[in-house]
Amino acid sequence: MIYLFPGLLFFAIATLYTAVGFGGGSSYIAILALSDLPYQKIPIIALACNISAVTINIFFRQTGQLIDWPKALTLAALAIPFGFIGGLTPLREAVFYLLLGLLLFASSWTLILPSSLRIQYIQIPRWLVYAVSPLLGLTAGLVGIGGGIFLAPVLYHSDYQNKQTVPATLSIYILGNSLFGLVGQISKAGGHPAVDYGTGLLLVAVLLGALTGNQISIQWLQPGRLRRMTGIVILLASIRILFKSAGI
């Protein structure tokens, strides 16, 4: 695999996603799933990149006192055991790509739909936030993402916490799921992580992107347009992955 172009893509993804509290795992894994890498290695690389990105997020948001630690750690603690179980769970290649394709397809629409078409007035009760956290952790562990892209709409439509602290909570949630999901994935692979020169370059690209994303102003990036463009890329990748799962 030629890593220069993917490295540039990973840098751009990390810059965009970390600016709003995500790690970019869904986009990393979408790109990797279209490569010729063995499918068992894809979650390991994506999770390692996720960990790098959200660690930078947490550092910057702690510096800015934008973290509600008790609430963030509660959700992470509920999800982590299930993220580990998901990472340990073996999946056949076709099942992996099918589940990944469906999840990416769903997540793409959370980015593509304009705010006017999203549910504006739904109020998710706090007990449901607690209940959905482990389920998202399990799902994230199975395919190798952090789960933040699914938790975000839940938090933004609940009274669980101040909306200004949601990005930091997402980063902590993603970090916990990614760490323990990675341990599960490596254990499933026989204790041999998929680390090589190319993976190292991708990690460096993500770190640089995360540093950039946490220091720039998101205002001039026209986040709505970029969000939709990212969603379209993930949508197209998800369709290709679904075809791949069907052997087409």
The predicted pLDDT at position 130 comes to: 93
Cβ atoms 17, 24 nearer than 8 A = yes
Max Cα-Cα span within the chain: 49
pLDDT tens, position by position, 82-118: 999 998 988 888 888 898 888 888 878 876 776 555 5
**Which residues, 6+ apart, have CB-to-CB distance to 243 below 8 Å?**
none
pLDDT tens, position by position, 28-79: 988 888 888 888 888 899 999 999 999 998 888 777 667 888 999 999 999 9
The predicted pLDDT at position 123 comes to: 74
Stronger pLDDT, 217 or 141, i.e. the higher one: 141
pTM here is 0.83
Cβ atoms 153, 113 nearer than 8 A = no
Query: Average pLDDT over the chain, rounded to whole?
Result: 82
Q: How far apart are CA 132 and CA 79, in angstroms?
A: 9
Q: Residue 220: pLDDT above 90?
A: no
Q: Residue 211: pLDDT above 70?
A: yes
What's the whole-number mean pLDDT along residues 7-33?
86
What's the whole-number mean pLDDT along residues 24-28?
86
